[in-house]
Amino acid sequence: MTSHTDHIRTQLIEFCATIGKNPLLVQGAGGNVSWKNKDTLWIKASGTWLAEANQRDIFVPVNLQPLQQAIQQNDFSVTPQLVGTYELKPSIETLLHALMPQPIVVHLHAIEILAQLVRANCENTLKTVIDHSISWILVDYHKPGQELANAIHEELIRKPNVQVVFMRNHGVVIGASSIQEITAILTLLTSALQVPVSQSINAQHAMISKRTEYTPIQDDSLHELAIDPHLFDRLAHDWALYPDHVVFLGPQAHTYSNWQQFDADVSANSHDKPELIFIRDEGVFVMPSFQVAKQVQLRCYLDVLKRQSIDTTLISLTHSQIAELLNWDAEKYRMHLLRETAQ
Residues 6+ apart with CB under 8 A from 289: 275
Residue number, 226 or 317, with CB nearest to Zn ion: 317
Residue number, 29 or 305, with CB nearest to Zn ion: 29
In the bound complex, what is the minimum distance in angstroms from residue 145's beta carbon to Zn ion? 10
Pairing of the two strands 276-279 and 255-256: parallel
CA pair distance 142, 152, nearest whole angstrom: 9
Residue number, 28 or 171, with CB nearest to Zn ion: 171
Residue number, 165 or 231, with CB nearest to Zn ion: 165
CA pair distance 123, 97, nearest whole angstrom: 23
In the bound complex, what is the minimum distance in angstroms from residue 45's beta carbon to Zn ion? 15
Query: Is 226:284 a contact under the CB 8 Å cutoff?
Result: yes
In the bound complex, what is the minimum distance in angstroms from residue 244's beta carbon to Zn ion? 7
Residue number, 36 or 109, with CB nearest to Zn ion: 109
DSSP-derived letter for residue 301 is H
Taking the chain, what is the end-to-end CA distance rounded to the nearest angstrom? 36
| Number of other residues whose CB lies within 10 A of the CB of residue 339 | 11
49: enclosing H helix or E strand:
none
In the bound complex, what is the minimum distance in angstroms from residue 321's beta carbon to Zn ion? 14
Residue number, 68 or 91, with CB nearest to Zn ion: 91
In the bound complex, what is the minimum distance in angstroms from residue 169's beta carbon to Zn ion? 10
With CB under 5 A, what is the number of residues at the site for Zn ion? 1
Nearest to 194 by CA among 118, 299, 138, 110: 110
Residue number, 47 or 171, with CB nearest to Zn ion: 171
Residue number, 117 or 235, with CB nearest to Zn ion: 117
Report helix, strand and coil shares of the chain as percent, to nearest 5. Answer: 45, 15, 40
Nearest to 246 by CA among 286, 297, 292: 297
User: What x/- string results for residues 147 through 176 when contact with Zn ion is judged by CB under 5 A?
Assistant: ------------------------x-----
Q: Left, alpha or beta for 236 (phi > 0: left; psi -120 to 50: alpha)?
A: alpha
139: enclosing H helix or E strand:
strand 136-139
What is the number of the residue whose Cβ is closest to Zn ion?
171
Burial of 190 (0-12, 13-18, 19+ CB in 10 A): middle
Radius of gyration of the chain (CA): 21
In the bound complex, what is the minimum distance in angstroms from residue 245's beta carbon to Zn ion? 11
In the bound complex, what is the minimum distance in angstroms from residue 154's beta carbon to Zn ion? 19
In the bound complex, what is the minimum distance in angstroms from residue 256's beta carbon to Zn ion? 31
User: What x/- string results for residues 115 through 154 when contact with Zn ion is judged by CB under 5 A?
Assistant: ----------------------------------------
Angle between helices 3-20 and 179-193 (to 10 degrees): 20
Contact residues toward Zn ion (CB under 5 A) are 171
